[in-house]
Amino acid sequence: MGHKDHHQTKFIPSNAPTSRTAKFKNRQGLIEATLQALSDLGYANASVSEIIKRARLSRGMIHLHFGSKDNLVIETAKHASERYHAFLETCLKCAGPSPQEQVEAIVKHDLSEDVLNATSVRVWYELRGAIYFQKELASYSDTRDERLRNVLFHLFIQLLETYGLKEATQENAEDVTFAFLALMEGMWTDYLLHQNGFQRENAKRSVFRFLQTLFPDHFDLTGAKLT
Amino acid sequence: MGHKDHHQTKFIPSNAPTSRTAKFKNRQGLIEATLQALSDLGYANASVSEIIKRARLSRGMIHLHFGSKDNLVIETAKHASERYHAFLETCLKCAGPSPQEQVEAIVKHDLSEDVLNATSVRVWYELRGAIYFQKELASYSDTRDERLRNVLFHLFIQLLETYGLKEATQENAEDVTFAFLALMEGMWTDYLLHQNGFQRENAKRSVFRFLQTLFPDHFDLTGAKLT
Amino acid sequence: MGHKDHHQTKFIPSNAPTSRTAKFKNRQGLIEATLQALSDLGYANASVSEIIKRARLSRGMIHLHFGSKDNLVIETAKHASERYHAFLETCLKCAGPSPQEQVEAIVKHDLSEDVLNATSVRVWYELRGAIYFQKELASYSDTRDERLRNVLFHLFIQLLETYGLKEATQENAEDVTFAFLALMEGMWTDYLLHQNGFQRENAKRSVFRFLQTLFPDHFDLTGAKLT
Amino acid sequence: MGHKDHHQTKFIPSNAPTSRTAKFKNRQGLIEATLQALSDLGYANASVSEIIKRARLSRGMIHLHFGSKDNLVIETAKHASERYHAFLETCLKCAGPSPQEQVEAIVKHDLSEDVLNATSVRVWYELRGAIYFQKELASYSDTRDERLRNVLFHLFIQLLETYGLKEATQENAEDVTFAFLALMEGMWTDYLLHQNGFQRENAKRSVFRFLQTLFPDHFDLTGAKLT
DNA sequence: GATGAATGAGTTTTCATTCAT
DNA sequence: GATGAATGAAAACTCATTCAT
């Protein structure tokens, strides 16, 4: 049971064997169904009825596990956020240690089908809209949260330093981080608005051209880091 | 007898010029109230009750003037879109004719307080979420619509040509347009998510650094076109 | 003006020349539109909006001329009732004086296209449904009102007497009148329910077979009175 | 662990037999309340509020059980139709097998207090008005539906044959069926319009006089079949 | 007299939440 | 823990009526 436990404890510490498992499954089922409903219908129309229809679970379950629909949405946002960051973390670990490799990993992650897909983008968009009124959501749904921003800032500092710019590297790196994050955000919005016409490859090339212009010694259009 | 009869039944002189005006005012009032409600509460919570509370008009008026709440939202989106484009058009006309001046005008417009403000950004965000299900909205609410995209594309072509890049200017310009629009979009999203911390000047500087990197002969960080 | 006046005085005594005419036209227009709306939509759905749409007149007109929508419906019922009886009266006058000719005239009238048509039957049906709650309607909408019932009763008495039934002629005539009126009513209901399949000729033949069975010396299936 | 888990997630023993019953009772209660409201107020005024007031049930229940008010009315019509036919079927089974006994059973059924009562007649009348716009209702609410029409047709054929009419028995029977059904319909309409004055006995005598005239060997005014 | 924009009470419907089973 | 029928507040919408023009 030990290793399984490990698998689960992130959310619900298991101390009773079976019912906890079922409970966990139902919890997860509701969260997945909520993601689906948000994606299919938008926040405004993702009603309890629509969620349980997708979860094939009973009506009372939502209040049993989450207390309220609002809470379920908050937990769903946490879940999505954790999923996003966990995957990003993996990507960063797998990538080489050089700044250009790390940045490249972030780009490829953010534009990958795992992250930039119809469901995911819709859900993020809807959850962000809800942040405004569900302040509790705020801390969870901001992808470019401080951690990522810091990581990027330091990567860009390192890259900029190789170009021997004596002055204003700090401010420059801030601007580049800001622009880079905005660029990635903008790609998501574009994907949302032009789902049919969106070309993943064009987006990638466009980002790498942006990086190439800034750091001609480190990036090229193939998205391969230059050594 | 005949002509009097005729006169009375057909040619009743309209004594309601004011009511025409009043009708228009109420229509506008509802649209403004909808913008406000969308901004204050989000699409999901912008109920008819909340809208009329802000408009200080009667319940029935929404259906009188727009037929349904959905229609009111659509008309509000059209209105917002038209306002955005009309203002942009003005900015482009007032700016000098050189590509760098035109691009600069677009940046300054998009980051101006008239465009990038709490209400406006919220409303755009909410309306975009609705586009997904209101296909009619799509054509109206896509800011970066084809016209703007085309204008930018040709401006960037002109700028790129001055750098004497023989090959792939077309593709390069496409990428730059794509990136530039995404960057501007991303600024809006950042504004939405970090309304308190958002620094208009940082955003502007970040965009102009992006432009300066691409077109060092035409832009600098002050946002003043170089001649 | 005199003879035209005569034409109108039945409903609105004309004493001002022109406006009265216009007023009259509008009144009539509203009544006709109400008949149409009742026929098209039923009592429950014949709203003021639907009526004025058909009348191509202004909203306020209904209250100007009739005080309320309910009143308009009542006046419409009166109008329909008067039209029905006026036409019946004409038919009776045109027909020969014998009882069989008079009865035949009533049958032919009630099954004629002028009386038994889609609009008319719908309207009667709807108005009768409303009688229950609009007691004022009651006196106007009962076609088989006492007058007709009396006329028929005496016609049947005369006919029955020729068969030399000594006893119970009175009761017999009452029963026949009752049955005859119910039969005619039933024809209307059948028309309402089976508008497509309804065969005017079958209905007529069926009624005349009923009359022939009762009064074999006076009626046959051709619907021609026997002399 | 496995089987317990299995047990809990899939085979939760239903401990809600009563709620099944309660659900059904509420459904029925709403239908009965709808019948009552239609009878009391007419189709046009039988609002959801009036229906739930009579049912003493909650507002949401109509949509829980029927999806919409329209649906509730349709189900009410079906219910009324089924009740009518079920009772008629019983009456036909209880009656003797001879044609005259069967016809007599139909008459007595249709004029019985169970069928021809204030509520029932009002409801039928209202529902028929609705048929026009609710085509789905048509098949359910036509009392004189094909089955009854066929039964009557064959009963009348049998009766007519005993009178040795060589020719046109078929057409004759059709006419008699048509007239008989119209007569019964007419009785209902008369009841609706003259509820106070309506004499059940007179109606019955009138129908039997009609039958006696057609089939003097089989019917008399007492409504007792002749052998 | 005539108009049609405006009103708000009333209608149907939706929905998160509760709770008996 | 799990279910889904039940609830009623609040949503969108309809409509007869009013009234300034």
> pLDDT tens digit string along B139-195?
665 655 788 899 999 999 999 988 876 666 888 899 999 999 999 999 999 998 888
Q: What does the pLDDT average to over B110-116?
A: 93
Is residue C37 in some structural domain?
A: no
Is residue B120 in some structural domain?
A: yes
Structural domain of residue A129, as residue ranges?
73-222
pLDDT, tens digit, for every residue of B16-36? 445 567 788 899 999 999 999
- Residue of C4, C14, C18 to mutate when probing chain B, most B C-beta within 10 A: C18
- Chain A CB contacts of D1 below 8 Å: 17-18
Q: How far apart are CA B137 and CA B104, in angstroms?
A: 29
- Chain C CB contacts of B10 below 8 Å: none
Q: Is the pLDDT of residue B45 over 60?
A: yes
Q: What is the pLDDT of residue D1?
A: 37
User: b or e along D112-146 (b: 16 or more beta carbons within 10 Å of the residue's beta carbon)?
Assistant: eeebbeeebbbbbbbbbbbbbebeebbebbbbbbe
CA B99 → CA A32, B96, B112, B152, D72, distances in Å?
49, 8, 20, 9, 67
Q: Is the pLDDT of residue A17 over 70?
A: no
**Terminal-residue alpha carbon distance, chain B:** 79
Is residue A64 in some structural domain?
A: no
How many Å apart are D55 CA and F2 C1'? 30
Is residue D146 in some structural domain?
A: yes
> Is the torsion defined by CA of D93, D96, D98, D101 positive or negative?
negative
pLDDT, tens digit, for every residue of C68-83? 999 999 999 889 888 9
Q: How far is Cα of residue A181 from the mean position of the Cα atoms in its chain?
A: 13
Reduced to 3 states (helix: H, G, I; strand: E, B; else coil), residue B225 is strand
Decide if B9 and C17 are in contact by the 8 Å CB cutoff.
no
* CATH code (residue C142): 1.10.357.10
pLDDT in tens, chain D (227 residues): 334 333 333 343 444 445 567 788 899 999 999 999 999 998 999 999 999 999 999 999 999 999 999 999 999 988 988 898 899 999 999 999 999 999 999 999 999 999 999 889 988 888 888 777 777 677 665 654 788 889 999 999 999 988 876 666 888 899 999 999 999 999 999 998 888 888 999 999 999 999 998 999 999 887 655 55
pLDDT, tens digit, for every residue of C88-115? 999 999 999 999 999 999 999 999 999 9
Is residue D11 in some structural domain?
A: no
CA B190 → CA A144, B44, B116, B223, distances in Å?
9, 21, 11, 20
Q: How far apart are CA C135 and CA C126, in angstroms?
A: 14
Decide if B1 and C18 are in contact by the 8 Å CB cutoff.
yes
pLDDT, tens digit, for every residue of C114-163? 999 999 999 988 888 877 776 676 766 554 477 888 999 999 999 998 88
The phi-psi region of residue B67 (left if phi > 0; otherwise alpha if psi is between -120 and 50; otherwise beta) is left
Decide if A193 and B142 are in contact by the 8 Å CB cutoff.
yes
Q: What does the pLDDT average to over A162-185?
A: 86
- Chain B CB contacts of A207 below 8 Å: 179
Q: Percent of chain B beyond pLDDT 70?
A: 84
Question: Do residues A102 and A42 lie in contact, with contact meaning Cβ atoms separated by under 8 Å?
Answer: no
Read off the DSSP letter of residue D134.
-
Closest Cβ–Cβ partner in D172, D186, D202 for C184: D186
SS3 content of chain B, % helix, strand, coil (to 5): 75, 0, 25
Q: How far apart are CA D148 and CA D161, in angstroms?
A: 20
Decide if B133 and A42 are in contact by the 8 Å CB cutoff.
yes
Reduced to 3 states (helix: H, G, I; strand: E, B; else coil), residue C193 is helix
- Residue of D119, D135, D209 to mutate when probing chain C, most C C-beta within 10 A: D209
- Chain C CB contacts of B9 below 8 Å: 22, 25
DSSP calls for B39-81: HHH-GGG--HHHHHHHHT--THHHHHHHSSHHHHHHHHHHHHH
Q: What is the pLDDT of residue A141?
A: 55
Is residue A120 in some structural domain?
A: yes
pLDDT band at B3 (very low <50, low <70, confident <90, very high): very low
Reduced to 3 states (helix: H, G, I; strand: E, B; else coil), residue B7 is helix
Number of residues that this document lists for chain D: 227
Q: For chain A, what is the mean pLDDT?
A: 84
Three-state SS across A94-138?
HCCCCHHHHHHHHHHHHCCCCCCCHHHHHHHHHHHHHHCCCHHHH
Decide if A17 and D1 are in contact by the 8 Å CB cutoff.
yes
Residue with tokens 């600069």: B104
Q: Which residues on neighbouring strands pair with residue B196, listed in sequence order? A: none
**Number of structural domains found in chain C:** 1
Question: Which tokens belong to B213?
Answer: 């990197």
Read off the DSSP letter of residue C139.
H
CA D91 → CA D78, D83, D95, D101, D131, distances in Å?
20, 12, 6, 10, 27
pLDDT, tens digit, for every residue of C163-213? 876 666 888 899 999 999 999 999 999 998 888 888 999 999 999 999 998
Number of residues that this document lists for chain B: 227
Q: What is the pLDDT of residue D24?
A: 86
Q: How many beta carbons lie within 10 A of that of residue B121, not counting itself?
A: 21
Among candidate residues B111, B96, B95, the one with its CA nearest the CA of residue B186: B111
Report which residue is nearest nucleotide E21 when distances run from CA to C1'. Answer: D16
Q: How far apart are CA C78 and CA A107, in angstroms?
A: 80
Chain A to chain B Cβ contacts (< 8 Å) = 123
Question: Which tokens belong to C152?
Answer: 């028929």
Residue with tokens 């052998």: D227
User: b or e along D16-51 (b: 16 or more beta carbons within 10 Å of the residue's beta carbon)?
Assistant: eeeeeeeeeebbebbbbbbbbbbbbbbbbebebebb
Q: What is the pLDDT of residue C117?
A: 92
How many Å apart are A41 CA and F6 C1'? 26
How many Å apart are A68 CA and E8 C1'? 34
Rounded to two decimals, the pTM is 0.85
Is residue A162 in some structural domain?
A: yes
Q: How far apart are CA A107 and CA A100, in angstroms?
A: 11
Question: Which tokens belong to C88?
Answer: 């019946």
**Terminal-residue alpha carbon distance, chain A:** 47
Decide if A43 and B129 are in contact by the 8 Å CB cutoff.
yes
Question: Do residues C108 and C100 lie in contact, with contact meaning Cβ atoms separated by under 8 Å?
Answer: no
Q: How many beta carbons lie within 10 A of that of residue B24, not counting itself?
A: 11
Is residue A67 in some structural domain?
A: no
